[in-house]
Amino acid sequence: MISFKSISLALAISTMAFTGAMAAEEGHGATPPRQEWTFGGFFGKYDRAQLQRGFKVYREVCQACHSLNLLRFGNLHDAGGPQFSEAQVKALAAEYQIKDFNDKGEAIERPGRASDRFPKLFVNADAAAAVHGVAPPDLSVIAKARSYSRGFPLFLLDMVPGFAYQEHGVDYIVALLNGYTKKGEDHWNEFFPGHQIAMPKPLSDGQVEYPDNAPKTVQQYSHDVAAFLMWAAEPKLEERKKTGFNALIFLAIFAGLLYFTKKKIWKDAH
C-alpha cells in the first residue's frame, strides 16, 4: 500500500525539516537539570496549591524588584490558574495602590480592584536601572522567554509525541534560583550565561511561610514560584491541552472514516 508508506515518509521528512531555532541557542551556563511538572505532558494540569504557594513567594520576594504587568488581579481567580476565591482576590487587590484619575481629572491613588493590572514598579526601564543597576525584567512571560539548548539531536526529540519537552524555561528558572553555589559570591550563578548575574541570591530556607505542609526550602520555593510563573506566561495551558486532546481524537476518527471511504471509492480504479 503506497499510501501509508508515502504519508509516513512525508511526516518523517517534515519532521527532519524542523531544524528548530532552539538549536541555535548557546548555553554558556550549565545545563539545567530536568524537573517533574504536573503541567507537562499530554494531560498536563497546574497544581492549584503549588500555584498559590508560588504566588506567595512572588509576592513576598520577587515583587520587591520584578513587576507582573500583563496580569490582572482577577486572573488569580480564573479557571486553570491558582483559583483563589473571589473574596481573596478582592482583598488582595485592595492592598495595592493604583494610579488613577478622579471625576475632576486629578491624579489620585486608589485601592486596586480585580480588573486592575499588577502595577508597574517603576515608570520606565531607566528608572528601574537607576535603582537596581540593571532593570529587573517583568516576569509575566519570563517562563517562555528563557530557554536553553539541548543540542542536536535531542532538540528534535522535544517535539515528538511521548517525548515532547516544553519546560525548558521553568527548568532554567529552578536551576537559576538554586544556582548560587559559590559560597561568599552573591552574584555568581552556575546556570546564568557568563555566570555573573545582577540579581543577588534571592531565596533562603524558611524565608516564606506556607499555609500547608510544603517544606520551607529554597528547592520547594523555586519549584513553586517557577510553576506560578509558567501559569503567568501560559494561563490558558489547561484549556489548550484539553481542547487539543478533543481535537486530536476527532481528527483521528475523521481520518479513519475518510480512509475507508477512500478505499471504497478507489476499489475499482486501481
Q: Which residues bind other proteins (CB under 8 A)?
A: 2-3, 6-7, 10-11, 13-14, 16-26, 42, 69-71, 75, 137, 140-142, 144-147, 152, 158-159, 161, 164, 166, 168-169, 193, 233, 235-236, 239-241, 243-245, 247-248, 251-252, 254-255, 258-259, 261-262, 265-266, 268-270
Task: Give the number of other CB atoms < 10 A from CB of residue 233.
Answer: 20
Least spacing, CB of residue 129 vs other proteins, in Å: 11
| Closer of 11 and 198 to other proteins (Cβ) | 11
Burial class (CB in 10 A: 0-12, 13-18, 19+), 12: exposed
Judged by beta carbon, residue 91 or residue 160, the one nearer other proteins is 160
Rounded least distance, CB 27 to other proteins, Å: 10
Q: Pick between residue 3 and residue 181 the one whose CB is nearest to other proteins.
A: 3
- Give the nearest distance from C-beta 126 to other proteins in angstroms: 11
Q: CB of residue 210 vs other proteins: minimum separation in angstroms?
A: 28
Compute the least distance from the CB of residue 173 to other proteins, in Å: 12
User: In terms of CB distance, is 19 or 196 closer to other proteins?
Assistant: 19
Of 199 and 203, the one with the shorter C-beta distance to other proteins is 199
CA distance 262 to 265: 5
Q: Specify the residue, 131 or 258, whose C-beta has the smaller distance to other proteins.
A: 258
**Nearest distance, CB of residue 190 and other proteins, angstroms:** 18
